[in-house]
């Protein structure tokens, strides 16, 4: 298998493909070194559906030869599932994509591990007005499908509710008490069943520590106890899907006592922080993992 040449698809939205042009080129360069020819597909130009009672996919109106695998770099569980139905291996797989792109589903599922999670109430969009009238302050409201720190709101007083209603009136949300007075969180990069590195993020201002929103970052050495927590989550997903994680970021809030509180899992995880803090070539590691994984789980 290691000597075979492969074709692969790298799927991005049009907007993100322009924003991540260098990263995409890096994928293609690293792919060549492993005899993997990577073709960029823009999601808006993909048509999927059912034709003649069979699944179909076309790109710019034309059918494409099936690749050995696809890497989906956007939150699109329907597309991931469709590709798998057509016999195409996708990273991350549809189970990961479906669970991890919905915060409520993620909390609900990860609770099986008994790891510490911030107390969370799930709220359908139809109930949000009534629920927000009853919450204590301060509370944090997050849309279930938000990404990269977007649609996350800190409610400190009654007047803040209007901001949330204007932004999330058509969204399911989760409601949490505000925790983490130091405004820090930890991102743990995972490929397959292996922890690659952990990066601490600290908010410069406000309560969001996301790197893309200006948070400060530094490499973090995990303790044995912290690794045990992370492996509980990794093993849960491995046990409940054919081949577990591809490449994800598992995020934890740093609690007021310095403890890890599970926060979310990024399916379409960014690598900018990792490259800023380390010399780890995560694209190379990911493609090497995929090659090995295809062999281990060969159909």
What is the pTM assigned to this prediction? Answer: 0.92
Neighbouring C-beta atoms of residue 1, cutoff 10 Å: 11
User: 274 and 197 in contact (C-beta within 8 Å)?
Assistant: yes
Closest CA to 254 of 202, 194, 189: 202
Sequence-ordered alpha helix ranges (H) in the chain: 14-19, 21-33, 77-85, 94-100, 103-110, 128-132, 161-168, 224-240, 272-277, 282-296
Close Cβ partners of 224 (under 8 Å, ≥ 6 residues apart): none
Asked if the model's pLDDT at residue 214 lies above 60, the reply is no
18-31 b/e with 16+ CB inside 10 Å = b?
A: eebeebbebbbebb
User: 167 and 127 in contact (C-beta within 8 Å)?
Assistant: no
Residue 16, classed as helix, strand or coil, is helix
When the pLDDT of each residue in the chain is averaged and rounded to a whole number, the result is 92
pLDDT band at 16 (very low <50, low <70, confident <90, very high): very high
Closest CA to 108 of 80, 117, 96, 77: 117
Angle formed at CA 146 by CA 12 and CA 166, multiple of 5 degrees? 125
Token representation of residue 51? 């034709």
The CA–CA distances, whole Å, from 118 to 64, 110, 283 equal 45, 12, 32
Q: CB-based burial of residue 299 (10 Å sphere; 0-12 exposed, 13-18 middle, 19+ buried)?
A: exposed
**Between 98 and 243, whose confidence is greater?**
98
pLDDT score of 204:
64
Q: How many percent of the chain have pLDDT more than 70?
A: 95
**Between 181 and 71, whose confidence is greater?**
71
- Taking only the tens place, the pLDDT of each residue in 119-131 is 999 999 999 999 9
Residue 60, classed as helix, strand or coil, is coil
- Taking only the tens place, the pLDDT of each residue in 54-102 is 999 999 999 999 999 999 999 999 999 999 999 999 999 999 999 999 9
pLDDT score of 280:
97
- Taking only the tens place, the pLDDT of each residue in 183-210 is 899 999 999 999 999 999 998 655 544 4
Q: CB-based burial of residue 13 (10 Å sphere; 0-12 exposed, 13-18 middle, 19+ buried)?
A: middle
């Amino acid at each position: 298998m290691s000597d075979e040449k492969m074709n692969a698809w790298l799927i991005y939205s049009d907007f993100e493909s322009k924003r991540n042009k260098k990263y995409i080129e890096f994928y293609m360069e690293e792919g060549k070194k492993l005899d993997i020819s990577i073709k960029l597909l823009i999601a808006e130009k993909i048509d999927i559906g059912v034709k003649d009672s069979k699944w179909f996919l076309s790109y710019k109106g034309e059918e494409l030869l099936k690749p050995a695998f696809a890497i989906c770099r956007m939150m699109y569980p329907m597309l991931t599932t469709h590709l798998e139905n057509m016999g195409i291996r996708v990273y991350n797989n549809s189970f990961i994509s479906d669970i991890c792109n919905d915060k409520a589903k993620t909390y609900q599922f990860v609770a099986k591990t008994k790891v510490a999670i911030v107390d969370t109430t799930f709220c359908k969009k139809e109930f949000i007005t009534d629920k927000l009238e009853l919450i204590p302050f301060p509370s944090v409201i997050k849309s279930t499908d938000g990404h990269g720190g977007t649609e996350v709101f800190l409610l400190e007083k009654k007047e803040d509710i209007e901001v949330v209603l204007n932004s999330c009136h058509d969204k399911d949300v989760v409601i949490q008490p505000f925790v983490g007075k130091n405004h820090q969180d930890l991102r743990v990069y995972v490929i397959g069943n292996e922890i690659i590195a952990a990066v601490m993020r600290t908010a410069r201002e406000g309560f969001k520590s996301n790197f893309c929103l200006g948070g400060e970052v530094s490499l973090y050495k995990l303790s044995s106890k912290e690794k045990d927590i992370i492996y509980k989550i990794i093993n849960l997903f491995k046990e409940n899907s054919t081949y577990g994680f591809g490449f994800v970021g598992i995020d934890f809030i740093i609690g007021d006592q310095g403890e890890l509180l599970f926060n979310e899992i990024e399916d379409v995880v960014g690598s900018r922080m990792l490259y800023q803090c380390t010399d780890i070539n995560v694209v190379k590691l990911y493609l090497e993992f995929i090659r090995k994984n295809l062999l281990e789980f060969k159909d």
